[in-house]
Structure 1
Amino acid sequence: MSRQRIGWILPVSLLAALLLGLVPLPEALLPLRPYWLALVLAYWLIEAPDRVGLGFAFVAGIVADLMFGALLGEQALRLTIMAFILQRFRARLRFFPLSQQALLIGGLLLNDRIVTMLVHMALGVPRLPWSYWWAPLPGMLLWPPLFVLLDTLRLGKRD
């Protein structure tokens, strides 16, 4: 039954994450937009590693690059790096309480920003504003409720 649930929850959650990334926000809130795709992908990498891996992260990143009109391959690189780190430490991470998982996810989202900065520096793109560095914070704060929501959908109602 769990595999059947994952069958539809996985693509729907990734589609929702992609659509949340497209929602227009006021200029003042743009720096606080969480990286929804990374958060949802992190959940699936931790909870369903047999279905989601490096290749899946790469393909999701290419799709995101096409949807968001970003540099082709940038998000694919960012998500693949994140997936590699999560796969490496998955066994330990699964047993952390949600508060500690949130801190680790915040660190991964900060690492994502560093990778983006390095890609932009390599391409000679102008510097990113300081407000750009705030985005990992809302992602870190959203991790526990997002984890609980996806876990409830994946596992169903517990008695």
Structure 2
Amino acid sequence: MRAYPRWVLYASLLGALLLGLLPLPELLQPVRPYWLALVLAYWLIEDPDRVGLGFAFLLGLVADLAYGSLLGEQALRLVILAFIVQRFRARLRFFPIYQQALTLGALLLNDRIVSAGLRLALGEPTLPASFWIAPVVGMLLWPVVYVLLDALRIGRWRR
């Protein structure tokens, strides 16, 4: 694997965090893709030596603080996603991009189920039906995210 500057990893995750904070109209808010999960999944597939479960947990804690959610909620969701991606990394890495997108859609749907379960356990109100559209949006965005991050990672850093 060709070495890339570490700032690419951190800048992409910061960008995903900021995209999650970007204000959206009330109508579009429930369909916001889980940007952190998409970017984290990319790095889990492409660079498992630098990104793992501990990294996902710390990233989730940062996201909890940034988004103002229950401390540990994002961390739990990202660790579950990271565990599944790591478990099936060898297969995922060699899937064509459309199969990766379908797999990421299933992982994002699983994330929504975990989130809904946490809300149910905490006695929070149920979420609107549009809450379940976000995994489809994330699945459709996966090829774009993958190609952009791959271009950044494989860029010409050495001359």
* TM-score computed with the length of structure 2 as normaliser: 0.95
Count of residue pairs brought into register by the alignment: 156
SS of match in other structure, 2:81: helix
Question: Which residue does 1:89 correspond to in 2?
Answer: 88
Question: Which residue does 1:55 correspond to in 2?
Answer: 54
For 1:148-159, what aligned pairs fall within 5 Å after superposition? 148-156=147-155
Q: Deviations over 1:22-50 (max 9, x none)?
A: 00000111122100000000000000000
Question: Which residue does 2:107 correspond to in 1?
Answer: 108
Q: Runs of 5+ in structure 2 lacking a partner?
A: none
In structure 2, give the amino acid aligned to 1:50.
D
Question: Which residue does 1:122 correspond to in 2?
Answer: 121
In structure 1, give the amino acid aligned to 2:82.
A
SS of match in other structure, 1:81: helix
Q: Runs of 5+ in structure 1 lacking a partner?
A: none
SS of match in other structure, 1:28: coil
How far 1:6 sits from its partner (Å)?
4.0
Q: Distance in 1 between matches of 2:55 and 2:2?
A: 20
Q: Runs in 1 of length 4+ with deviation above 4 angstroms?
A: none
For 1:9-48, what aligned pairs fall within 5 Å after superposition? 9-48=8-47
- Between the aligned residues of both structures, percent identity stands at 70
How far 1:63 sits from its partner (Å)?
0.2
SS of match in other structure, 1:63: helix
Q: Deviations over 1:56-94 (max 9, x none)?
A: 000000000000000000000000000000000000110
Q: Distance in 1 between matches of 2:37 and 2:128?
A: 21
Q: Distance in 1 between matches of 2:95 and 2:2?
A: 23
Q: Does 2:6 correspond to 1:7?
A: yes
How far 1:121 sits from its partner (Å)?
0.9
Question: Which residue does 2:74 correspond to in 1?
Answer: 75
SS of match in other structure, 2:62: helix
The structure with the greater share of residues assigned to helix is 1
* TM-score computed with the length of structure 1 as normaliser: 0.95
RMSD of the alignment, in Å?
1.1
Q: Distance in 2 between matches of 1:130 and 1:156?
A: 41
SS of match in other structure, 1:110: helix
Question: Which residue does 2:143 correspond to in 1?
Answer: 144
Q: Distance in 1 between matches of 2:93 and 2:133?
A: 26
